[in-house]
């Protein structure tokens, strides 16, 4: 039998908090736009990181949330502003002077900023020059998977509906969904409850309510869903070294549906009614 449960009250944001999330979300989205003309063959991922860092700190007067985040036993804190995940890197790729982008690469940039105490978290894929038909299709499927997950969001639906919609679509395209990493509640806390799985059963998990804020960020693999963590304890790669792609938005559940807080001008979001 399926089961659902109610969210703890603290996960429901007030109108004032949602307004601050809107501001943070817009700043995060702007970075993905701002960095676009800088992404080309011959550029290192560290150069992209530096540009994003300086823009967040000096232009946006905001805080890069990833910088210094996530120290744990056996793992140093993340030392950069963005995650740069190229080709078979699934997520949490570390910007590096020696990682030079080349024609045909696919790159995910994931950025999280803090403004006025609230987080905005988003990521997208970029193609360097021209890439394969497969790589293009993988990126498109990852984006559409995210949109299909977002499209289920409204008061009264469940967290499980999101993962179900994503998994069903991705597997129908003969790709796989990463299991070990998920979306998350977000607000003053970077990674809060609930965990938003990108696979699973409809009508299971937490019931969505107006004012909940969380991310949806499916990672889609061309081969098997299994991943491996590198020795740096951050970089996640596909187990079979085939390509991986990801898209992420931060959103809020509205009275009748969903509002995407990290929307960019280049996106066609006409299917989503807030
Ligand atoms: N932005 C990532 C997410 O979507 C988290 C990155 S944590 C970092 O949740 F420390 F690696 F930056
Ligand atoms: Co992110
Ligand atoms: Co996230």
CA–CA gap between residue 65 and residue 83 (Å, rounded): 11
137/126 Cα distance (integer angstroms): 13
Q: Is the CB of 91 under 6 A from ligand 1?
A: no
Band of residue 246 on the pLDDT scale cut at 50, 70, 90: very high
- pLDDT at residue 3, rounded to an integer: 81
Q: State how far the Cα of 48 lies from the Cα of 9, in Å rounded to an integer.
A: 39
Give the mean model confidence (pLDDT) for residues 153-165. 98
Of ligand 1's listed atoms, the one at least distance from the Cα of 248 is 4
- Residue 9's pLDDT is what? 86
Cα(1) to centroid(ligand 3), Å: 30
Mutate to test the pocket of ligand 1, among 190, 193, 195 (most ligand atoms within 8 A of CB): 190
Write the pLDDT tens digit of every residue in 35-84. Answer: 999 999 999 999 999 999 999 999 999 999 999 999 999 999 999 999 99
Please give the pLDDT value at position 1.
52
The answer, yes or no, to whether any atom of ligand 1 lies below 6 A from the CB of 69, is: yes
**Cβ atoms within 10 Å of 198's Cβ, excluding its own:** 27
Q: What is the predicted pLDDT for the residue at 172? A: 99
- pLDDT reported for residue 2: 72
What DSSP character marks residue 38?
G
Q: Which atom of ligand 1 is nearest to the CA of 181?
A: 9
Q: Higher model confidence: residue 6 or residue 66?
A: 66
What distance in angstroms lies between residue 34's CA and the mean position of ligand 2's atoms? 17
**Does position 264 have pLDDT exceeding 70, yes or no?**
yes
**Dihedral sign from CA coordinates of 28, 122, 68, 101:** negative
Ligand 1 site, residue 217, Cβ cutoff 6 A: yes
- Is 274 a residue whose pLDDT tops 80? no
Measuring from atom 12 of ligand 1, which residue has the nearest CA? 66
Instruction: Count Cα neighbours of 228 within 13 Å in the Cβ-side half-sphere.
Output: 9
Relative to the alpha carbon of 183, which ligand is closest?
3
Residue 93 CA to residue 99 CA, distance in Å, equals: 10
Residue 61 is predicted with a pLDDT of 98
Q: Is 126 helix (H, G, I), strand (E, B) or coil?
A: strand
Which one, of 159, 194, 184, 187, lies nearest residue 13 by Cα? 187
Report the residue among 83, 95, 123 best suited for mutation to probe ligand 1: largest number of ligand atoms under 8 A from its CB: 83
Q: pLDDT tens across 70-105, in order?
A: 999 999 999 999 999 999 999 999 999 999 999 999
Helices (H) and strands (E) in the chain, counts: 4, 17
Mean pLDDT over all residues of the chain? 97
**Would you state the pLDDT for residue 231?**
97
């Amino acid at each position: 039998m399926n089961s659902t449960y109610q969210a703890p009250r603290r996960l429901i944001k007030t109108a004032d908090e949602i307004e601050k999330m809107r501001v943070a979300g817009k700043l995060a989205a702007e970075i993905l736009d701002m960095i676009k003309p800088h992404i080309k063959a011959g550029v290192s991922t560290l150069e992209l990181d530096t540009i994003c860092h300086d823009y967040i700190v000096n232009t946006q007067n905001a805080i890069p949330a990833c910088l210094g985040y996530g120290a744990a036993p056996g793992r140093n804190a993340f030392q950069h502003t963005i995650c740069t995940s190229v080709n078979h890197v699934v997520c949490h790729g570390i910007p590096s002077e020696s990682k030079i982008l080349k024609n045909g690469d696919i790159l995910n940039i994931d950025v999280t900023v803090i403004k006025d105490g609230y987080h905005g978290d988003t990521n997208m894929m970029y193609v360097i020059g021209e890439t394969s038909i497969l790589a293009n299709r993988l990126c498109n499927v990852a984006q559409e998977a995210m949109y299909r997950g977002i499209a289920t969001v409204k008061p009264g639906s469940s967290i499980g509906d999101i993962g179900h919609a994503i998994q069903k679509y991705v597997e129908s395209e003969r790709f796989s969904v990463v299991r070990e990493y998920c979306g998350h509640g977000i607000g003053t806390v970077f990674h809060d409850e609930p965990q938003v799985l990108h696979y699973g059963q409809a009508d299971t998990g937490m019931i969505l309510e107006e004012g909940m804020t969380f991310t949806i960020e499916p990672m889609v693999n061309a081969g098997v869903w299994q991943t491996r963590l590198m020795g740096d304890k951050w970089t996640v790669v596909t187990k079979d070294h085939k390509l991986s792609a990801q898209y992420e938005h931060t959103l809020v559940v509205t009275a009748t549906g969903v509002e995407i807080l990290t929307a960019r001008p280049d996106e066609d979001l006409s299917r989503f009614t807030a």
